[in-house]
Amino acid sequence: MKVGIVGLGYVGLPLAVAFAESGHEVVGLDADTHKVQSLERGESYVEDVGNEALAAVSGRLRPTNRYSDLASCNAVILCVPTPLTSSREPDLSYLVDSATSLSQVLQPEQLVVLESTTYPGTTRERLVPLLEESGMAAGRDFHLAFSPERIDPGRTDYTVRTTPKLVGGLTDACTERTRALYAEICDKVVVLSSPEAAELAKLLENIFRSVNIALVNELAQLCDRLGIDVWEVVDAAATKPFGFMRFDPGPGMGGHCLPVDPFYLAFKAREHDFYPEFIELAGKINQAQPEFCVERIEKTLNSAAKPVKGSRVLLLGVAYKAGSGDTRESPALKMIRLLRELGAEVSYHDPHVPQLPEHGLASEDLDAELAEADLVAIVTAHREIDYEAIVGGGSLVLDFRGVTRGISAENLVRM
């Protein structure tokens, strides 16, 4: 089988490697010439895909930026970004551009699968008309389905192979073609009745997390006023063996999915005169969490008779999650901007993020910055960091991740 992958980022590249590892020929397309050139050199830019993995499939994975190379593929999978506009509404421009280009080379009997997270109805209402510009009819002349990505960057316990795959096709034949495609690389494929069901299932997965994270983030703000240790409360509640699922507070949500998905569903709901207030409120709480964290930094500095203006603040971690270099929608980026607006001198250390060019920053030597910083804020809980050494060497340490539980020190403050 020959499989085309459009979009070779955190989702598309691991998927391309998985198909190539299973013995299939893969055409990987990306509009970013630098990514294509990097893959041609055998150099990975995605942490979950090592150079060794690329070398092992070099004969079966061909990177390109030409849509004409997809014409010979049996299946084409779209893994393009679906971000938000500046007004927090769905931005489907990447999807529209890729589908329009694909329609010009689409072949009879080809299978097209959308993996990008989006609102219910996107596959049928937006993708079908674009692909039918080819002169062919979806479900009759070519196959079309939605199968949401479930990639969790930095995770090793669940892989493309071991994570169940949802599929929902335009027709029964579309669904069966998609099921057979993913059965090549996934141990379990779950068949749904429609693309809409698959699209909404993906949103539910992430909104479930968003709502529960918002709950504990709001609890953390209340605990701050009550003078109660939120981590002790969460630890205690988590001892209940039934009826409770643990979620931890933090500086806010990041990545492509969690900060974005509630707004995608809310957009679709409004088209039907329905307003998901509960879901939207959770999104607003999580979006505002970095502001609360900056207020805590200001308060902690004040307690040490130091103003924010002119103080050196070291952020420990700027990736949105531990073990990853992904900074998409990372709360640390918002914290950097807010702290600078208050006049703080901001630096960061992150072993997974060497540079933040949009902020004019690079990861600093930890020992040197630790000695100079007026306050160290633990924003991302990377496992390779020695937090006892951070507390021991830092002037003032503010922990937003709860990684210093079990450590007692006068210079340590936890959210």
Q: At what angle do helices 331-341 and 277-303 cross, to 10 degrees?
A: 50
Six token digits for residue 378: 């633990």
Residue matched to tokens 């969790």: 152
Which active-site residues does the annotation give?
257
Determine the residue type at 326.
Answer: D
Cα–Cα distance measured from residue 237 to residue 244, given in angstroms and rounded to the nearest whole number: 7
Q: Which helix (H) or strand (E) holds 299?
A: helix 277-303
Looking at this protein, which amino acid is placed at residue 278? F
Cα–Cα distance for residue pair 40/288, rounded to 1 Å: 42
**Residue indicated by tokens 């999807």:** 95
β-pair partners for 377: 315, 398
In whole angstroms, give the CA distance from residue 87 to residue 291: 19
| Structural tokens at position 288 | 């505002």
CA gap 14, 235 in Å, rounded: 35
Tell me the backbone φ, ψ of residue 296, rounded to 5 degrees.
-65, -35
Parallel, antiparallel or unpaired: strands 143-146 and 397-399 = unpaired
Non-local (6+) Cβ contacts of 32 within 8 A are: 65
Q: How do strand 143-146 and strand 75-78 relate by DSSP bridges?
A: unpaired
Q: What is the DSSP string of 99-118?
A: HHHHHTT--TT-EEEE-S--
Q: How far apart are CA 359 and CA 207, in angstroms?
A: 30
Closest CA to 13 of 115, 107, 142: 115
* Spatial distance between the Cα atoms of 177 and 74, rounded to a whole number of angstroms: 10
